[in-house]
Structure 1
Amino acid sequence: MIDMPAGITSAEEALGGTAWSILGQTYTLKQESTNSIAWHAVFPPGTFVPPHVHPTQDEFIYVLSGRYDLWLDGKESIATAGDLVRMPKGIPHGIFNKSGDTATSLFWVAPTRSLKTLFERIHNVPDPAEVVRIAAEHEVNFLPPPA
């Protein structure tokens, strides 16, 4: 069974017209199947995804422009254009744009699970605490802030 049609999603296009605004970031759907989901992400300066864990998904970031400061498995790292960030399932990670410039990237997770539903539910939700609560219902577990 094929659950993803062959084709090209152009640079300007969102697959199915789908884009989400999540806590100041813009995610544009580029690919979706049972096995994986990919989106183009725009991180304005100062935006971030706090440390969290995907217990059932591997996550990846291919950095297109800018810089990400990462917290990955307890260590700080930096990724810039051309770098691929690998975040295996079960490993805590956080993604921060501290550079002062916009960063863009292609994100994807495998398998898809309910990540698209999560993005649909948190689109335009302004309250970070509510985003964290909803995320836990979709196998994305945010970690408590450090003491």
Structure 2
Amino acid sequence: MTRPGTALENPETGERIEFRETAAETGGDRVTFDYVLRPSGFGLGKVDHRHPRQTEQIEVRSGRLGVRTDGDEWTATPGTRFAVPPGTAHTVWNDGDEEMHAVVTLSPALDVETFFETTFGLAAAGRATRIGLPGPLQFAVLADAYREEFAVAGLPLSVQRPLATVLGALGRARGYRAAYPVVEEREPADA
């Protein structure tokens, strides 16, 4: 179970998050975390994605955050605050030579904590590609289970969701799961 202080790291993407507020604390209203990207780090998958039902608010505290929203690229610097509305295609990367730190809030929370625990945990266990994504069948299981939290931007939801349902079922039949106990039982960083 995620608690404030729980820290996750994706060695493939250079992302590190530490939860400030969890879904349990906010009654499902939001999840807030510190988001750190090492130099040359990038958002999961290095591809545009969208949150079908969540607004993502980002406040850059230090460093330079490269941002692409609906095809427009720009750089957010310390003090920049912006929001990505639900359904908006976007991605981020470290656009500088030093670590980038931002505070991110996703609302509503949905089950984004488990999504992060699982995807970061798979990468930390060596079960992800160099862009931080698991193999196709594992990815389909995740896309099916977390369809309200995450979607690939380049494929219409009307195609993506049925595809995730079919391939997700095949992935589950082959033993892939949407969450793994070793990931779910992780203790906070200060424990």
TM-score of the two chains, using structure 2 as the length reference: 0.63
Q: Does 1:104 align with 2:94?
A: no
What is residue 133 of structure 2 aligned with on the other side?
Answer: 129
Say which SS state the counterpart of residue 34 (structure 2) adopts. Answer: strand
Preserved contact between residue 50 and residue 153 of structure 2 (Cα < 8 Å): yes
Larger proportion of helix? 2
Q: Whole-Å Cα distance in 2 between the matches of residues 106 and 16 of structure 1?
A: 14
Aligned to 1:65: 62
Q: Which moved more, 1:127-136 or 1:66-75?
A: 127-136
State the shift of 1:143 in Å: 3.5
Distance 1:124 1:25 in 2: 12
* TM alignment of 1:1-147, pairs within 5 A: 15-22=3-10, 23-32=13-22, 33=26, 34-49=28-43, 50-126=47-123, 127=128, 128-130=132-134, 133=139, 135-136=142-143, 137-138=145-146, 139=148, 140-144=150-154
Report the Cα distance in structure 1 between the residues aligned to 2:110 and 2:120, rounded to whole angstroms.
18
In structure 2, do the counterparts of structure 1 residues 16 and 70 end up closer, same or farther at CA, with 3 Å as the change threshold?
Answer: closer
| Residue 129 of structure 1: how far off its partner (Å) | 2.9
Q: Which runs of 4+ in 1 moved over 3 A?
A: 14-17
More strand by share: 1
Q: Structure 1: 5+ residue runs without aligned partners?
A: 1-13
Amino acid of the structure 1 residue aligned with 2:38? P
| TM-score scaled by length of structure 1 | 0.81
1:90 & 1:100 partners in 2: Cα distance? 31
d(CA) in 1 for partners of 2:33 and 2:135?
19
Question: Aligned partners of 2:83 and 2:101: how far apart in 1?
Answer: 16
Identify the range of structure 1 (63-72 vs 16-25) with the bigger mean alpha-carbon deviation: 16-25
C-alpha deviations, 1:5-59, integer Å up to 9, x for none?
Answer: xxxxxxxxx9444111123211000012200000001100111113100001000
RMSD over aligned Cα atoms: 2.2
Structure 1 distance, partners of 2:118, 2:14, is 15
How many aligned positions are there? 132
Q: Identical aligned pairs, as a percentage?
A: 25
1:88 CA drift (Å): 0.4
Unpaired runs of 5+ residues, structure 2, are: 155-191
- Does the CA-based 8 Å contact 1:72-1:94 persist in structure 2? yes
